[in-house]
Chains A and B, each alone.
Chain A
């Protein structure tokens, strides 16, 4: 059974770096074709894709946020870490991580999400 869970700070100050961790089970990030993505959703608004890391360490980022994002995988801990620099109140959102299965061009399993508020 595949599960994912996001963790990180609930409150962050403007200009700080936000670090979120996705801890997963039921799969290995080294398995061919797999990926883990990050998606966020500001309160009352739409989903926004942020980043995707593949089993071969290929990484893709949202063009509009690319300069502020980095994603890394730790296969020994079964974790994927997302870092977002220089946050501002517009980054207030629920952040989800999600599993991309081989053969599915989609996120088939999602974490519960973690809410982050950027406040000054």
Chain B
């Protein structure tokens, strides 16, 4: 299985909205609504921010939202804040019951 495809980097100014895409195949992203997103600061463990495409764990601001269309899932961060500057990874279950991560996206807040 190949890694899911994410843009290497995205950037935005405080207050703006950005979207990070995550493209897979009909065997992973497109198969189910089982895409999750993680935020990771340098030297830290990943933190779950979205699961099953659209659901936020308790404590995650509603500025973070998700969507999916076919084989592509997306993470949108609205009202960008300086603290959102981090790496973001998508992840999906596959039809084989395995998991696959994306290559990661570095978000820069200008």
Contact = CB atoms under 8 A, between A and B. Distances in A.
The judgment on whether A and B are partners is: yes
Interface of A: 37, 39, 46-49, 52, 60-64, 96, 98, 104-113
B104 A105 contact: no
A106 B91 contact: yes
Contacts of A49: 91, 98-101
Interface residues of B, number: 26
Nearest to A109: B48
Interface of B: 1, 3, 32, 34, 36, 38, 40, 45-48, 51-52, 57, 89, 91, 93, 96-104
Nearest to B100: A49
A106 B50 CA distance: 9
A49 B103 CA distance: 12
Contacts, number: 69
27 contacts: A39-B46, A39-B101, A47-B38, A47-B89, A47-B101, A47-B104, A49-B91, A52-B98, A60-B99, A63-B1, A63-B98, A96-B46, A104-B36, A104-B48, A104-B51, A105-B32, A105-B34, A107-B36, A107-B38, A107-B46, A107-B91, A108-B48, A108-B51, A109-B48, A110-B46, A110-B47, A110-B48
Nearest to B4: A46
A61 B48 CA distance: 21
Contacts of B46: 39, 47, 96, 98, 107, 110
Contacts of B104: 46-47
A111 B45 contact: yes
- Give the 6 A-B residue pairs with the shortest CB-CB distance, closest first: A106-B36, A106-B51, A105-B34, A110-B45, A49-B99, A46-B104
Contacts of B100: 49
B99 A104 contact: no
A111 B44 CA distance: 10
A9 B8 CA distance: 32
A70 to B, nearest CB: 15
Nearest to B3: A46
A8 to B, nearest CB: 16
B64 to A, nearest CB: 14
